[in-house]
Structure formats: C-alpha cells, structure tokens
Structure 1
C-alpha cells in the first residue's frame, strides 16, 4: 500500500513571514477575524494580498502559517508567565505581540502597521469554510485568533 500523499510547502523566508504578519495584523483583517466564526474568505484575502506582494500562496498555506505563528507565540507567552521561568522568545515575538496583545485569551490590542490595505471579501458559506474552521490541534476555536 503506497504512503499517503502529503503536500510539501516551500520554506518561508523572513521577508515573506514579515509580509504575512503585517497583512494579518491589519486592523480590517483583525476585525474580520474577531467578528466572524467562519474565516475562509479572510484567509483568502490574506492570500490575495500576499500574491499582490509577489508570493504564490494559497488560502490554506496562509491559514496554516498564521496558526503556526499563533501557536509559537502562545507557547512562549505561557512559558514566560510561569513563576521562576527564564524569559524566552520566538521569531517575530515583538510583531506577534503587537497583534495578539500579550494575552492569548484576550482580543486584539494593537495592530501591525502596513502600507497595503486589503478590501474585505464577502460571500456565502462554502464547504472549504467548514474544513478550515476546525483548528489543527482539535482543541476548539479561540475567538479573535482566526
């Protein structure tokens, strides 16, 4: 029996990650992520903005990378909250902290400045939204985190 086919995504450069973070941190994008339960269109908008900046990324790639960044930030944030723990950090912690606000359970406090504004995408529910609405970890969905 052949091994299951898995899709290999290219490595993310620092410039690509910073562009993703700046788009994700835009006030309009954060507002959509906080106000909607289904965010497929919002991640599609992020993908479109990344395409406009010269990157070839689909909606799922953008969503997965945002979730990875959130998880990395939350691990560091929780580790730093433990009594007696030595301070730790992760790549782009300062930028992520500006978006996530220092508290993984709170709503967004500030946004990352960016020069590109994206227009919100409105449409009805699709099957992809059902698939992408589930968190990879299976631990449920935290409001305001996309």
Structure 2
C-alpha cells in the first residue's frame, strides 16, 4: 500500500465533508454523474479537488461518503413527509436538499441503485483485467517457453501483415481484450438484473396469493354471519309466535274467569314474562355468536402462523 492510501483513512471532518458536497453539488458534476455508467471517473475529479485543498481521499471513499449521505438524507426526507412525524434534520441536510430536494423519492432510489450497479461494473472490470494480467504473466514465465517462443510462420506473418499478424498467431490485441472485458461485464450485469426481476416477481406472486386467501376468508366469514343471523331471526320469530299464542289464550281465560283488575294484573305478568324470555333468548344468541367468533379468531391465528413459517 502506498503513502497516499495510508493517509486516506480516518473520520471525515466537517469542513472536508462540506467541501465534498459543494463540489458534488456542482451542476456540471451532476450532469456527468447522471449520464455516466462508470462514475468512478467523476469521483476522481472530486478527489483531485479535495487534494488541491489539502484533503487526501480516494475516489472510492468519496463515492462511499456521498452514498451514505444520500441514504441518510432519503430516510430523513421520508420521515418528514409522513404525517404526524416531527420534522428532523442533520448537519448537511440543506446542502443535500439543494440538489435532491426537487427530485421524487423513486429517483433518489434510482440514484442509489445506479451507484450500486456502477460499483458492480467497476469490480467486474477490475477482476477480469487482473485475471488477464495473471494469464499473461503465467504465459511469459520460463516454465512455459512454448507460449513465449514464436514460430517462424508467425514471425513471417507479422512482418508481412503488420498488426493483423498478432490475431493470426493467437495473441490477443488490445481491442480484443477490451471487447472481452465489455462482454463479461455486460453478462454479469444482465444476470444481476435477471435475478432481481425473478425475486421481484416471486414476491409479487406471494403477495397476490396472500390477498386471494384473505379475500376467500372474508367471504366465508360473511356467509357464516348471514347464516347465523338467519337462524337467530327464525328462532326469534318462533319464540314471538308462541308467546303471542300463549298471551291470547291467557287473555281469553282472564276475560271469562276474572275481574278487570285481575285481567290487568295478568296482562302485566304476561308482558314481564315475555320480556324475560326475550332477554334469555337474546343472551343465548349472543353467546352462540361469541363462540363462533372466538373459533374464527383462533382459526385465523393458526392460519397466520402457518403463513409466517412458510414466508420465513
């Protein structure tokens, strides 16, 4: 590790972070970051400006610091946009908001996603480049003289055909190496996007299945409630009919066998008895409904436990 990398560690000072954000917020820098796929070149410019002002940081450290600040800003902004939350802020909120304040939340997420993709592309390129260098050094070692020695035919072809002889002899040119690196990075990026899409669709299918199951349970509960209400209504009508019949018979007997005062007393007694019977029937119906609801709640709880186990 050289001296520059050894001096790049440590905490970020306030003035260092403020300078980083002021350079990052420049309109020209923002245009380059939005248009560049491999934005490490842009962060090299930012690191150079920091170095000119006495702060030694690598481009990767600058990019990581900006990414952390963007995540923190996105969380604070999302909390402030939710109703009922008290307004929050942090030291560099105003500088970040001057650049990102007018952008929607999905664009902030897209910026973080592009930064991750750029890091993936950079790592894949560096990995493949290092592999090619190792293969070249291996081919130049004394243990493999047949790889370094050129045949007379290849030498003649190189003298007669110029730059095309390296391709005829099997030696990769810079253009071929560049195409191979680009092809490998593209394949890795396509595989990453395909896996992300597959995970997303599986999650959506699982959510849809849960919604369907919840809808089926709700419809079943409604049907059971309607059936219970119908049974209660039928039972109540039967009770009222029997009480009315009994009341009419007692009134007929009272008219024949008793005086008006006794008839009134008999009517009051019958109404009170009817009231007590109605209370008793109502209590029985409520107990039945409560028992049914308790059974439904227990069934739904066990169903949710099974779903959580499958989700995990």
Task: Give TM-score, length-normalised by structure 2.
Answer: 0.32
Q: Post-superposition shift, 1:100? A: 1.1
* Per-residue deviation, 1:9: 2.8
Structure having the higher Rg: 2
The within-5 A match list for 1:1-146 is 9-102=9-102, 103-106=104-107, 130-131=122-123
Kindly provide the CA deviation profile for residues 12-68 of structure 1, in whole angstroms up to 9, marking residues without a partner as x.
Answer: 111001000000001110000111222010111111111111111001110110001
Whether the 8 Å CA contact 1:40–1:128 is kept in 2: the answer is: no
Q: Give the number of aligned pairs.
A: 107
Cα deviation, residue 131, structure 1: 2.4
- Aligned to 1:47, the other structure's residue is in SS state helix
Q: 1:93 to 1:18 in 2, by over 3 A?
A: same
- Normalized per residue, the structure richer in helix is 2
SS in 1 for 2:80: helix
- Cα distance in 1 between the residues matched to 2:38 and 2:49: 19
Deviation string, structure 1 residues 77-97 (Cα, Å, up to 9, x no partner): 011111211111122101110
Aligned to 1:118: none
The secondary structure found in structure 1 opposite 2:106 is: coil
1-structure distance, mates of 2:15, 2:122: 31
Answer 1 or 2: higher relative contact order, Cα 8 Å, separation at least 6.
1
- Whether the aligned pair in 2 keeps the contact of 1:39 and 1:129 (CA below 8 Å) is no
In the alignment, structure 2 segments of 5+ residues that lack a partner are 1-7, 109-118, 125-195, 197-312
> Normalising by the residue count of structure 1, what TM-score does the alignment of the two structures yield?
0.66
Structure 2 distance, partners of 1:128, 1:83, is 37
Evaluate the alpha carbon distance shift between residue 75 and residue 105 of structure 1 in structure 2; reply closer, same or farther with a 3 A threshold: same
